[in-house]
Amino acid sequence: MEELLTDLKKVPLNDLHVSLGAKMVPFAGFYMPVRYSSDVEEHNTIRKGVGVFDVSHMGEFIIKGPKALALIQKVTSNDASKLVIGKVQYSCLPNDQGGIVDDLLVYRTGEEEYLLVVNASNIDKDWKWISQHNTEGADMRNISDSICLFAVQGPKAAAVLQKLTDANLASLEYYSFTKGEIGGVKDVIISATGYTGAGGFELYIPNKDAEQLWKKIFEAGKQEDIKPIGLGARDTLRLEMGFCLYGNDIDDHTSPIEAGLGWITKFTKDFINSKNLLSQKEKGVSKKLVGFEMVERGIPRSHYEIVNAKEEVIGEVSSGTQSPSLGIGIGMGYIKTEYAQPGTEIFIRIRNKSLKAKVVKPPFYKA
Amino acid sequence: MNFPKDLKYTSDHEWIKIQGDTAIVGITDFAQKELGDIVFVEADTVGQTIKKSEVFGTVEAVKTVSDLFMPITGEITELNSEIESQPELINSDPYGKGWIVKVKIKYAAEADELMSAEAYQKLIGQ
């Protein structure tokens, strides 16, 4: 996507990334490090060791006060009433046309306080959308510009970070968090979440402390050969797990039911467009987001056509790559429901050839 | 980055080494670095005569797909079989083991339109 270079923002540690040799590219309105050395090496570092992504472009909103939960229940699809303090929930913001405004994480940070973490490209859209539905007057604050976010991921992440904090990281379950001191920086949210399937933590840090903490993490991880990791590897890692990327696999026009996000779409409560989505769930949908792997050699890419044996178009690829862990082409795409069953033979149109693939249930990579 | 003086270059980031009426073609050090890890090379054009600036194949990196353009009109006589199983050779040795195709040149005069190493470096701002 072409972006006006003059409108691009920089993350607070931009110069540090440049000094580490990062190739900076426009992404979601920011200059972001796409790679420091090699996509494949960085991918493998996360699968086998430990690495750090600076994903400070992500947006953070605080919603608090007596009306906070009611607002979150109204705008998100998952049931936030189930969240206890210290827990995180994956959710989405359905629009009123059947699509998705954004996918997000909801943290319960206090009795009447929540943190919403949204995609960088959607910060303004989400803020307007939630504000528009805030008719009961919940207290909302957009703190996106004052918070840095590091994702310290990989099987060795806990060992590295434990050197820097008294918080018991081993006891922190997946999708839980604690707020504490790490590397001498106070009030950091240490969250056992990530977008890689490799384990690890995400750290929410005030901008002013970010550089200090980055350096502390790299000192602590020297023995584990910790590396900075770019967005290139982030994409292949998330795709190997079958995690959706907003703008590729879900958008304003895809329904959470079609996208396989039924598990975060809870009809135990009313929310925006819940009646329509419930009816979709009951009646079934005509297309579904599925995972597939290439049987013949080829690399699927977003917008390639999916066809059947008769060369009839039955769907479209939403994300695809060569899986660094598996060494084959993998992808996700929307496909007519009758072809969505795992094991179904399909074909991907790659440069005027129809190459054989089969539908599989993600994750593609199993640790 | 390295740009050998004995090679000629195109604005599409191919290099060409001309030896009489045959040539070896690959992509430049700059191109491989921009693309990132190369994981697949495809050229179904062996045996075909392809015009200068037309597509003769495709190189796929983890993140992107890029067409390969002919630096000179000619018949593709050979695809480097080593890069079919080890496409990463294009990253590690773009002017050596990572060569892509051999070409039988049709119009030798077209070579005059190719760029020198200095002109190419200027083009990419190096």
pLDDT for A367: 77
| Sequence-ordered alpha helix ranges (H) in A163-254 | 207-220, 231-241
Residue pairs between chains A and B whose CB atoms are closer than 8 Å? 35
Rounded Cα distance between B121 and A161, Å, is: 44
Four-point Cα dihedral A284, A289, A293, A299, nearest 10: 140
Residue A226 CA to residue A153 CA, distance in Å, equals 10
Q: For residue B65, give the chain A residue with the closest CA.
A: A301
Q: Which pLDDT value is given to residue A18?
A: 97
User: Shortest Cα distance from B14 to chain A (angstroms)?
Assistant: 21
**Nearest chain B CA: its distance from A345 CA (Å):** 23
Contacts of B37 in chain A (CB under 8 A): 38-40, 324
A16 to chain B, closest Cα gap in Å: 20
Q: What ipTM was reported for this prediction?
A: 0.87
Write the DSSP assignment of A180-204 as a string of letters: EEETTEEEEEEES--SSSS-EEEEE
**Chain-chain contact of B36 with A39 (C-beta, under 8 angstroms):** yes
Nearest by CB to residue A299, choosing from B36, B60, B91, is: B60
> Rounded to the nearest 5°, which phi and psi values hold at B76?
-80, 120
**Placement of tokens 């040149």 in the chain:** B105
CA atoms of A78 and A92, how far apart (whole Å)? 7
**Reduced 3-state DSSP string for A10-48:** ECCCHHHHHHCCCEEEEECCEEEEEECCCHHHHHHHHHH
Contact state of A38 with B91 under an 8 Å Cβ cutoff = yes
Give the pLDDT confidence of A34-80 residue by residue, as tens digits.
999 999 999 999 999 999 999 999 999 999 999 999 999 999 999 99
Kindly indicate the confidence band of residue A263, based on its pLDDT and cuts at 50, 70 and 90: very high
User: How distant is the Cα of A151 from the closest Cα of chain B, in angstroms?
Assistant: 21
State the average pLDDT over residues B66-89.
96
- Cβ distance A39 to B62 less than 8 Å, yes or no, reads yes
Report phi then psi at A86, rounded to 5.
100, 0
Tell me the residue ranges of DSSP E strands in chain A: 9-10, 23-27, 30-35, 51-54, 59-64, 88-94, 100-110, 113-118, 139-142, 147-153, 177-182, 185-191, 200-206, 227-228, 287-294, 305-307, 313-322, 329-336, 345-350, 353-360
Determine contact: A40 vs chain B, CB below 8 A.
yes
Asked if A303 is an interface residue toward chain B (Cβ–Cβ < 8 A), one would say: no
Distance of residue B63 Cα from the nearest chain A Cα, in angstroms: 7
Indicate the residue of B37, B58, B65 with minimum beta-carbon distance to A39.
B37
Q: Is A278 on the interface with B (CB under 8 A)?
A: no
Q: A-contacting residues of B 45-74, CB under 8 Å?
A: 58, 60-63, 65
pLDDT tens per residue across span A17-36: 999 999 999 999 999 999 99
Task: Count the Cβ atoms, other than its own, within 10 Å of residue A323.
Answer: 23
> Average pLDDT for residues A283-295, to the nearest whole number?
97
Distance CA A274, CA A308 (A): 33
pLDDT at A5: 61
Looking at chain B from residue 15 to 44, which residues have their Cβ under 8 Å from any Cβ of chain A? Answer: 36-37, 39-40, 42
Asked if A232's CB is within 8 angstroms of B36's CB, the reply is yes
Predicted pLDDT of residue A1: 43
pLDDT (average), residues A291-301: 97
Domains, chain B: 8-118 (2.40.50.100)
Categorize the per-residue pLDDT at A6 as very low, low, confident or very high, splitting at 50, 70 and 90: low
Token reading at A181:
């001191």
Average pLDDT score over residue span A246-268: 97
The pLDDT tens digits for A129-181 are 999 999 999 999 999 999 999 999 999 999 999 999 999 999 999 999 999 99
A232 with B63: Cβ contact below 8 A: yes
pLDDT(A98) > 80: yes
Which residue of B58, B61, B63 is in closest CB contact with A351?
A: B58
**Cβ neighbours of residue A63 closer than 8 Å, sequence gap 6 or more:** A71, A72, A113, A114, A115, A116, A130, A138, A139, A140
CB contact under 8 A, B40 and A322: yes
How many Å is the Cα radius of gyration of chain A?
A: 21
3-state secondary structure of A100: strand
Letter for the amino acid at A319? S
Helix (H, G, I), strand (E, B) or coil at A267: coil
Residue-averaged pLDDT of chain A: 97
The proportion of chain A whose per-residue pLDDT surpasses 90, expressed as a percent, equals: 98
